[in-house]
Amino acid sequence: MSAVMPMPPASVPSCARAVHAQRGRWLALALIVLALCLLALGTVVGSMGFENLWPALWNPQGDSAAHAMAQQIVWDIRLPRTLGAWVAGALLGLGGAVAQGLFRNPLADPYLLGSASGASLGVALALALMGGAGGMLGGAQGALTVSVYSSHWLVRLGLTGAAFVGAVLAVLLTLALARGVQHTLRLLLAGVVVGVVLGALTSLILLLSPDSLQAMQAFLLGSTGFVGWTSCLLMAGVWLLCLAAAWLLARGLDGLALGEATALSLGLRLAPLRAALVAVLALATGTAVAQTGLIAFVGLAAPHLVRAAVPVPHGRLMLLSSLMGGALLAGADLLARGLLAPQELPVGVLTAVLGGGYLLWLMHRRTSPGGLL
């Protein structure tokens, strides 16, 4: 574990810290530039090719209908989708860094407290109660609505809201089973149990309501195709809030990395620290999952990629992991759109294949004779 978790600042010589800080700034700059490049590429990748889109977009004096359609494709569909993918990835990357620091385990991911299973159960339950067949994704709002059942309270909540409520309730159930946040191991085991039980309940609901399977598929496979400007603004606001809170809690994570006994001797109040970290983790993960569905490995791989590039304390690690997660999901979204264009791959499937392949390669490298472990 010491080979992949960041070293506490006190154990690193000052000259090495200066070098690491400089490398961290360069990495942050590179990730920001990469994000801007991905945002630009996101406006040209899709079912309508570059050769047809851009002449219509930049020639308003020509075919007015084609110009209006090109504007709508770029400004109302592709731009918010690409930006939304980046922000969702940033939330998952931040959640992964928080989870790995909280549990002091490099294999921890943002879904560890049961939030993903709770969101899935919320969506499945809402679809079953609404009949399953009436849902259609509304891209402008990034939420599922059902016009046939417009008077139903579940419709006003929306499947996005149902997913968020399910994620929050799952985290609260985990905290109740763990009897608070005093014991990290108990919290971890409670999260695993809650995830398994809620996953089984989701499967049971889908079995009893087969009409919900098709609508549920988009959520389970993960998709950024229905993220609109409203969803982008919501996720961006939550990301900034969670990033600010995580930055304030970073010194506590650095102390916790030394062990609970050492952290207590340093005067850290572990119970409030864990509670605040769990709140940040639940809010970041629940918001991302509610808007894009279940997207695997982004939150797990982003901190690993940052640590492979530069060892940094938790404050910089969470910022860099957030930027890395945004780049990973935005890049995966572009691949999902472009590999089989005009058809699209589910972005969650693509991140699972690529992220799983990367982690398998990382494990092979670390367990090889010349590896780190």
In a domain, 318, yes or no: no
The percentage of residues in the chain with a pLDDT greater than 70, rounded to a whole number, is 79
Determine the length of the chain: 373
Residue 366's pLDDT is: 63
Distance separating alpha carbons of residues 274 and 187, to the nearest angstrom: 10
What does each C-alpha distance from 160 to 60, 86, 119, 184, 323 come to in angstroms?
A: 37, 18, 9, 30, 24
Residue 3's pLDDT is: 41
DSSP string, 94-141: HHHHHHHHHHT-TT--TTTTSHHHHHHHHHHHHHHHTTSSS-EEETTT
DSSP-derived 3-state class of residue 228: coil
In a domain, 331, yes or no: no
Report DSSP state, residue 74: I
146 in Cβ contact with 158 (< 8 Å): no
Say which residues have a Cβ less than 8 Å from residue 67's Cβ, sequence separation at least 6.
Answer: 56, 57, 59, 60
Say which residues have a Cβ less than 8 Å from residue 305's Cβ, sequence separation at least 6.
Answer: 324, 328
Confidence of residue 267 (pLDDT cuts 50, 70, 90): confident
Residue 44's pLDDT is: 79
Residue 76's pLDDT is: 79
Residue 359's pLDDT is: 75
Range picked from 2-6, 46-50, 189-193, 263-267 for highest mean pLDDT: 189-193
* Rounded average pLDDT over 72-85: 84
Domains contained in the chain, number: 1
Has residue 368 got a pLDDT over 80? Answer: no
In a domain, 372, yes or no: no
Of the listed ranges 135-139, 167-171, 235-239, 347-351, the least confidently predicted one is: 135-139
What does each C-alpha distance from 101 to 8, 282, 315, 361, 369 come to in angstroms?
A: 11, 14, 11, 23, 28
Confidence of residue 106 (pLDDT cuts 50, 70, 90): confident
Of the listed ranges 65-79, 123-137, 320-334, 355-369, the least confidently predicted one is: 123-137
Find the domain containing 269 and state its range. Answer: 9-311+341-367
In a domain, 296, yes or no: yes
Instruction: Report how far Cα 68 is from the mean position of its chain's Cα atoms.
Output: 33
- Count the alpha carbons within 13 Å of 359 in the hemisphere toward its beta carbon: 19
Phi, psi for 136 (deg, rounded to 5)? -140, 145
Residue 59's pLDDT is: 58
182 in Cβ contact with 311 (< 8 Å): no
pLDDT tens digit string along 199-240? 999 999 988 888 878 778 878 888 888 788 888 999 999 999
In a domain, 317, yes or no: no
The residue among 193 and 151 whose pLDDT is bigger is: 193
DSSP-derived 3-state class of residue 72: helix
Confidence of residue 47 (pLDDT cuts 50, 70, 90): low
216 in Cβ contact with 137 (< 8 Å): no
> How would you classify the pairing of strands 136-138 and 143-145?
antiparallel
DSSP string, 302-322: HHHHHHHH----HHHHHHHHH
How much is the mean pLDDT over the chain?
79
Distance separating alpha carbons of residues 279 and 264, to the nearest angstrom: 21
CATH no. for residue 152?
A: 1.10.3470.10
Residue 140's pLDDT is: 35
Terminal C-alpha separation, the chain: 9
In a domain, 297, yes or no: yes
DSSP-derived 3-state class of residue 143: strand
In a domain, 109, yes or no: yes
Which among 272, 242, 246, 270 is positioned nearest to 256, based on CA atoms?
270
Distance separating alpha carbons of residues 287 and 293, to the nearest angstrom: 10
Has residue 333 got a pLDDT over 60? Answer: yes
Distance separating alpha carbons of residues 150 and 359, to the nearest angstrom: 45
DSSP-derived 3-state class of residue 257: coil
In a domain, 93, yes or no: yes
Phi, psi for 143 (deg, rounded to 5)? -140, 160
Q: What is the reported pTM?
A: 0.83
